[in-house]
Amino acid sequence: MNDTAYGIRIRPGHVADAPVVLDMLDAAVVWMNERGNTEQWGTTPYSRRPGGVARVQRYLTENAPFIAESDGAPVGALVLDSGPSPQMPIEPADEPERYVRLLVSDRRHAGRGIGSALLAHAVDETRRAGVELLRVDCWAGGGGELVAFYERNGFAPTERFLSGAWPGQVLARRVG
């Protein structure tokens, strides 16, 4: 386990964490919808979307998952991969990279730095792997709050894209 500056402990994730990650994703959809954001992740709970449960299980078995805990309880999740999702219209980098495929925190603990702690862990994991580039893509709609969050965490916008009508932004951070 890893202690962070935020009082959050980060441990490797496992497929047994799928129910709690799905709960966090479902709660995030509700939280966004309550704030009028129905475009980012839609209105259907993640656990009820076709393929949603299987995708989370794949994330936790085929990628590098990490779970943030506070007082022993899961409060966030991060999944790292070696490149962007094949479903997204994003080209892999022309160098080795780590890619944030999933970042979610328990909305009951919002504002405690969980997302920032998980991104700091992603930087450490990327550096430990001898890789210098960490990238992420995110929703670029609304008022740009999510893009701004990644910028506050050391990422710089690179390319914009559309996935259907969904506006996205790729951001990158050098860690070497």
49 CB burial (10 A radius; 0-12, 13-18, 19+)? middle
Q: What is the pLDDT of residues 84-95, one digit of tens each?
A: 988 888 888 999
User: Each residue of 142-158: b (16+ CB within 10 Å) or e?
Assistant: eeeebbebbeebbbeee
pLDDT at 50: 93
Return the ∠ at Cα 63 (arms to 59 and 67), rounded to 5°: 70
Domains of the chain (ranges plus CATH)? 2-174 (3.40.630.30)
Q: What is the pLDDT of residues 54-79, one digit of tens each?
A: 999 999 999 999 999 998 999 999 99
Task: Say if residues 69 and 75 touch (Cβ distance below 8 Å).
Answer: yes
In this model, does residue 3 exceed pLDDT 50? Answer: no
In this model, does residue 26 exceed pLDDT 80? Answer: yes
Q: What is the pLDDT of residues 104-131, one digit of tens each?
A: 999 888 888 999 999 999 999 999 999 9
> What percentage of the chain carries pLDDT values higher than 90?
68
Residue 100's pLDDT band, with cuts at 50, 70 and 90, is very high
pLDDT at 23: 95
Sign, Cα dihedral of 32, 43, 136, 144: negative
Strand order in the sheet with 9-12: 2-3, 9-12, 64-70, 73-81, 97-105, 133-139, 166-174, 156-163
pLDDT at 129: 96
Helices (H) and strands (E) in the chain, counts: 4, 8
Rounded CA-CA distance 87/168 in Å is: 13
Specify the pTM. Answer: 0.91
Closest CA to 139 of 113, 111, 167, 162: 167
Rounded CA-CA distance 24/155 in Å is: 24
Rounded CA-CA distance 140/164 in Å is: 13
Rounded CA-CA distance 13/118 in Å is: 12
- Read off the pLDDT of each residue in 136-162 and give the average, rounded to a whole number: 93
